[in-house]
Amino acid sequence: MAQRSFLRSVAIAAGVLCIQTGFAQITTPRTPSPAAKVSQTIGISSVEIDYSRPSVRSREIWGKQVPFGWNVQGFGAGNSAPWRAGANENTVIHFSHPVKVEGQPVPAGDYGLFFVVNADNTGEVILSKDSRSWGSFFYTKDQDQLRAKIQLKDIPFVEMLTYDFTNLTKTSGELDLNWEKKQFPVKIEYDVDNIVMANAEEELKGPVGFNWQGFATAANYALANKIDLDKGLVWIDKAIAQNNSFATQSIKANLLKATGKNEEADKIMNENLAKATEVELNAYGYQLIAENKMDKAIEIFVLNTQRNPKSANAWDSLGEGYFTKGDKKNALNSFKKSMTLDPPANVKANSEKFLQQLGATN
């Protein structure tokens, strides 16, 4: 019996060995450094990090678990190598568009992300074109796309290695590796406006280009960001060809104004006033106030009250026009008129505020 039991145990062990070595294995949880992914959108571009998250687990990290400086690995190519910026496979960073990392240009694509940490809190960030090797065992300097000096920061304790994005702006963000009590900050910048414009040009060749809204949105982006205004004018003309409205003509007029063609812009606005809605006239009036064209702004506000005599908001806006010009008498009359038209709460509050400033008692 004992011999049979022994043979049976050997057979079972051999079977297990066959399962482990002869066949594909099922997916099981990864321990102790679980896989993670983090991403951030900047403009319409993305940055993605695939990494594994080791824990401190009461270990001495810097200078021990992660040696300072460059180190020769005990396996692989045998080259002096940086830290893999995580655990297990390469930490991989993906850029959807050409980007600047620490001020240096980097093409779109996938890169192995590595760091060097020194005892004095200085360091380096390294992007390698080899993003598929395991860890830093096969790192070679000839695959470097970028190497840049960085300054590490001291932070409160973080148990599990974590990547985060901070200090986000329209065009940039800071990628931070946080672990134990150190932070590795890396600045990432996209040329957002040019990326958006190039992307719009491509999108307008597809389904988006079969409606006027796509062209109008693209033209308005050019206007709002003062980029490639001539292209914006081409786009808005295509929008107008499908939808000749005050809204589309306003975009064209403002693009012309941005290129210094003020008379042509004013002519377009005047010729299209008949198409304007109450809301559009109101917005145009405030635009004129912002341009310090007070008489023209009041003219537009008056026109709006003539077309919409029962609109409390139209009278309230006319009051603001007179008030800004310094015509207190007409401002007072306009705000009082607004109050007689059962204004919505926000319009009522605005009229009351100006009436109080004008010294009106009721």
Rounded Cα gap, residues 199 and 219, in angstroms: 13
User: What pLDDT digit, counting tens, does each position of 40-67 carry?
Assistant: 999 999 999 999 999 999 999 999 999 9
**What is the mean predicted confidence (pLDDT) over 73-99?**
90
What is the distance, to the nearest Å, from the Cα of residue 42 to the centroid of all Cα atoms in its chain? 3
* Domain ranges in the chain with CATH number 1.25.40.10: 193-357
CATH topology (fold) of 193-357 = 1.25.40
Instruction: Give percent of the chain above pLDDT 70.
Output: 92
Rounded Cα gap, residues 334 and 350, in angstroms: 12
User: What pLDDT digit, counting tens, does each position of 304-331 carry?
Assistant: 999 999 999 999 999 999 999 999 999 9
End-to-end CA distance of the chain: 108
Using 50, 70 and 90 to split pLDDT, how confident is the model at 12? very low
**What is the mean predicted confidence (pLDDT) over 130-159?**
94
Find out whether the peptide bond into 32 is cis, omega within 30 degrees of 0: yes
Q: Which amino acid is at 320?
A: E
Asked whether the predicted pLDDT for residue 128 surpasses 70, the reply is yes
Exposed, middle or buried by CB within 10 Å (0-12, 13-18, 19+), for 27?
A: exposed
Kindly report the backbone phi and psi dihedral angles of residue 270, in degrees, each rounded to the nearest multiple of 5, phi listed first.
-65, -40
pLDDT of residue 11: 40
Contact between 355 and 336 (Cβ < 8 Å): yes
**Minimal CA–CA distance to 99: which of 192, 185, 196?**
192
Query: Cα angle vertex 255, ends 249, 258, to 5°?
Result: 145
Using 50, 70 and 90 to split pLDDT, how confident is the model at 78? confident
Rounded Cα gap, residues 179 and 61, in angstroms: 9
Using 50, 70 and 90 to split pLDDT, how confident is the model at 86? very high
Q: How many CA atoms lie within 13 A of 54 on its CB side?
A: 18
Contact between 124 and 149 (Cβ < 8 Å): yes
Contacts of 33 (CB under 8 A, 6+ apart): 52, 53, 54, 55, 86, 87, 88
DSSP string covering 147-215, please?
A: EEEEE-EEEEEEEEEEEEEES--SSEEEEEEEEEEEEEEEEEE--HHHHHHHHHHHHTTTGGGGSHHHH
Asked whether the predicted pLDDT for residue 196 surpasses 80, the reply is yes
pTM for this structure?
0.84
Using 50, 70 and 90 to split pLDDT, how confident is the model at 16? very low
